[in-house]
Homo-oligomer: A and B are copies of this chain.
Amino acid sequence: MIRISKKVEYALMALKFISDSDHKLVTAREISDKSNIPYDLLSKILQKLKNENILISNQGMNGGYSLNKRTDEIPLFNLMTAIDGDTSIAECLQDNSVKDCCLTDTCTIKLPVTRLQKELEDLFKSKTISDFV
């Protein structure tokens, strides 16, 4: 299964929600309630989006989140890396190559796998959040 993680799906829904209520601050609680997304989990996700400068956050009473960029300026790829940390299709292609696949020496498909990775990356980079709102 080549799954988009639930977290990324939640992020997409949240961004759509925020985008739809334009310019008003939106709270995590509000999104959680309206979209049936677990509150604590959603909070973490929104925080990550804030750390990637996709969202702006305002703490305290009457606080909440708002978009920091136009939706068409946020590639799906960035969202995915922001949330899941890595988008490599194979162990040996991980950014932080701490882990190295034990077959790395005898592997006969590294090159074509790398090419495939590139193509998938290009696809995810070509999509933006505006395609989901």
Residues of chain A at the chain B interface (Cβ within 8 Å): 1-4, 9, 12-13, 16-17, 34-37, 80, 84-90, 102-103, 106-109, 112-113, 115-116, 119-120, 123, 127, 131-132
Contacts and interface: CB of A to CB of B under 8 A. Distances in A.
A63 B94 CA distance: 39
Interface SS, A side: loop
Given A86-B1, A89-B2, A13 B107 contact: yes
Contacts of A37: 103
Nearest to A119: B123
A90 B3 contact: yes
Contacts of A4: 2, 89-90, 113, 116
Nearest to A107: B13
